[in-house]
């Protein structure tokens, strides 16, 4: 219920936390009261007890060569099957780990390859009730979209359905959530062009100086059905000046109270919307 310029109840920060510049994704395991953060700069996943505060070490860390992690972004928790899904941006893969995993462990399953279509992966959400997993990102030919797989898929497997095309309104897509057979995705629609290669060691080809960090139209929150396929417009949308959204990248949902939360990296804010008809 927080609103305005309010202080956090607690802050987890400091060298002992093993947090780097930013956690590009956060999930909460309500069954075990654990906060999970992804660390793309350290190629790691960190786990904290729900009541953690201050410069406190994580209770577990998944990191090392056997994990195959490169740049983990959004995590998604499946408490039904005790699994943790990870969307890895640079590895161009979806990884599944044990929810209680720790150390340098190999993934239980991996979705990756030309048949999987999805290339750069930015978000993931698992729906254990309907045995589906939803990924957001870009296809191998860099078309942005939403990719729907069987939850038990493994290897170089094709998605069941793909939501992509000009009618979707998606230019750049980030995190995603699912509830009640619906997909809630944030389309930042600002195309980010970094000046350096993925390792940050040398300028990209034809780079003649610093580039604008973000270019493009206003971003939005869109809602689709899990059964949608192809060039389908959103069933519901949060968009426009009144929404105050510019570059939304993170999303959380509260179906019980009909709330949608979106974080905006240009506004440096978190916005909350009460839209029970979206659920």
How does pLDDT run across 73-116, given as a tens digit for each residue? Answer: 999 999 999 999 999 999 999 999 999 999 999 999 999 999 99
Is the pLDDT confidence value at 215 over 60? no
The two domains 8-112 and 115-196+207-279 share their CATH topology (first three levels equal): no
Mean of pLDDT over the chain: 91
Average pLDDT over residues 41-65: 96
Query: Nearest-CA neighbor of 93 among 135, 142, 131, 126?
Result: 135
Query: Nearest-CA neighbor of 159 among 185, 129, 174, 137?
Result: 137
User: Lowest mean pLDDT: which of 36-40, 62-66, 126-130, 198-202?
Assistant: 198-202
Sketch the domain layout of the chain as residue ranges.
8-112, 115-196+207-279
Per the structure block, which two tokens stand in for 268? 């440096």
pLDDT tens-digit readout, 130-174? 999 999 998 877 789 999 999 999 999 999 999 999 999 998 899
What is the reported pTM? 0.89
* Residue 8 near residue 2, CB atoms below 8 Å: no
Query: Nearest-CA neighbor of 43 among 21, 60, 62, 27?
Result: 62
- Report whether CATH 2.130.10.10 matches the domain 115-196+207-279: yes
Share of the chain above pLDDT 90, in %: 78
Q: CA-CA distance, 250 to 226, in Å (whole number)? A: 20
* CATH architecture of the region 8-112: 6 Propeller (2.120)
Strand order, beta sheet including 259-264: 248-254, 259-264, 269-274
């Amino acid at each position: 219920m927080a609103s305005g310029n309010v202080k956090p109840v607690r802050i987890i920060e400091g060298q002992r936390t093993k947090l780097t510049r930013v956690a590009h994704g956060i999930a909460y395991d309500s069954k075990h009261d654990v906060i999970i953060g992804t660390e793309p700069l350290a190629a790691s996943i960190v786990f904290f007890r729900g009541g953690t505060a201050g410069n406190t070490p994580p209770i577990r860390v998944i990191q090392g060569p056997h994990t195959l992690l490169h740049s983990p972004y959004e995590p998604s928790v499946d408490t039904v099957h005790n699994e943790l899904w990870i969307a890895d941006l640079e590895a161009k893969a979806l990884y599944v780990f044990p929810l209680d995993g720790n150390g340098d462990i190999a993934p239980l399953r991996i979705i990756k390859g030309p048949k999987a279509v999805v290339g750069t992966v930015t978000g993931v959400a698992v729906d254990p009730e309907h045995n589906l997993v939803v990924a957001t990102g870009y296809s191998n030919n860099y078309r942005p979209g939403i990719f729907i797989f069987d939850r038990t898929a493994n290897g170089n497997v094709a998605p069941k359905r793909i939501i992509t095309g000009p009618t979707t309104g998606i230019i750049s897509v980030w995190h995603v959530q699912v509830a009640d057979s619906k997909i809630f995705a944030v389309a930042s629609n600002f195309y980010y062009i970094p000046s350096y290669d993925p390792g940050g060691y040398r300028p990209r080809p034809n780079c003649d100086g610093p580039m604008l960090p973000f270019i493009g139209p206003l971003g939005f929150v869109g809602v689709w059905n899990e059964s949608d396929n192809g060039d389908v417009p959103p069933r519901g949308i949060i968009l426009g000046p009144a929404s105050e959204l510019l570059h939304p990248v993170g999303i959380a949902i509260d179906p019980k109270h009909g709330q949608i939360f979106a974080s905006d990296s240009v506004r440096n804010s978190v916005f909350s919307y009460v839209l029970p008809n979206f659920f």
